[in-house]
A and B are shown apart, each in its own frame.
Chain A
């Protein structure tokens, strides 16, 4: 039950809510736990709440490192 999924923010709504898209499916979620969210950001969703923003820079760095490690 701790499974959570990445989703893209498509619309910020009033009352700390937002619409996200998960593989094209829209869902309304709470963003009360996150600061400074913008349309286009990716968040991790769990039980209807965004838990955190995904850091695209860090994601890229991890992928680069994975490629490096696998090529060693």
Chain B
């Protein structure tokens, strides 16, 4: 078994689609939000929506850490990278994310900033060791999946007594964002979205387990099924959600048992809690300031905090008013509802973050979905 092809079998997918059709109540809508961009990618890439009955609709949620990073944080990173002593290490996805007025790290690099793409936090440590006379800053970003590698790197920097190394921390947390989508006061202004259940994050849950979602299932009465990223995983999860809705249940169920256990990865959680603590609030693109939505370094590790080391000023930048990212991240609008989609805004010329990452709703729709637009199904 290679844990990939087996979960892409077309015959089984068609059988699951039949099972879903047999169980849905045609008299009601089923609106399921996939929180995670990896799932959005799977839905678009394998055309899963075409296999579902018309009254089962997938709503693409916040998705990806790159998509929810506010433009102001990109501007802060650009200012930092322009300092001659700084080498800024970033994951590749971040290079083209638009800051204010079309600025990006890629353009900063073209103007002389020393911005280096890394695949792993291990590379950032190596760069710091090789450049003792420079200040190496790692642009840390990501949900709970990407946070443990940052924690390990900070502890390694400490062990190696690296004094030229720090972290610009942009780690965010998934459960508070789910809660925010369901109850944010902003919803009164830009409209709310009806959600009958969540497809829960796969690899975030590998780390945090299934328990952190229980309060959402209980307090908001929403079924949640944690599921893997392969198409069969998702089809099974949709069937499980349909069954919960039909039976008036709202529980956290785990479809992704081959990788997720209830308590998650204890070793990873311990690393994270050693190094990080909650921020009272953290701005998310499209969601505003999410209470307890982000992490910062604990007092014992603040010497590695780039925001303090370089006196970085918090910058808040409004998104381009024509960009609908905010409403798209909340599942209120679809990419085609944005008038910039496919004209001004494409993966080569992204105006908003949803078009940058391949897991963003706009990029996924651009790559796999736009050819089907003419036969778009009615929204139930």
A residues engaging B (CB < 8 A)?
Answer: 1-6, 8, 29-30, 32-35, 42, 44, 46-49, 51-52, 54-56, 58-63, 65-67, 69-72
Contact = CB atoms under 8 A, between A and B. Distances in A.
A69 B257 contact: no
B127 interface: no
B312 interface: no
Nearest to A27: B119
A72 B23 CA distance: 11
A71 B11 CA distance: 10
Contacts, number: 139
Contacts of A47: 91, 119-121, 142, 146, 149
Interface of B: 1-4, 6-7, 11-16, 18-19, 22, 36-38, 41, 64-66, 91, 93, 119-123, 141-143, 145-146, 148-149, 152, 201, 203-204, 206-207, 229, 232-233, 236, 239, 255, 257-260, 265, 267-268, 271, 357-359
Most buried by A among B3, B37, B148, B255: B3
A66 B120 contact: no
B121 A62 contact: no
A32 B326 CA distance: 37
B91 A59 contact: no
Which applies to chain A's interface (DSSP): helix, strand, loop or mixed? Answer: mixed
B257 A58 contact: yes
B12 A70 contact: yes
Contact of A51 (B120, B145, B229): B145
A63 to B, nearest CB: 6
Contact of B19 (A3, A52, A69): A69
Contacts of B149: 30, 33, 46-49
B206 A49 contact: no
Residue in A1, A30, A60 with the greatest tally of chain B CB atoms within 10 Å = A1
A29 to B, nearest CB: 8
Contacts of A60: 1
18 contacts: A1-B37, A2-B143, A2-B201, A4-B145, A6-B2, A30-B120, A34-B265, A47-B121, A48-B121, A49-B120, A51-B203, A51-B206, A54-B258, A55-B257, A55-B259, A56-B258, A59-B258, A62-B236
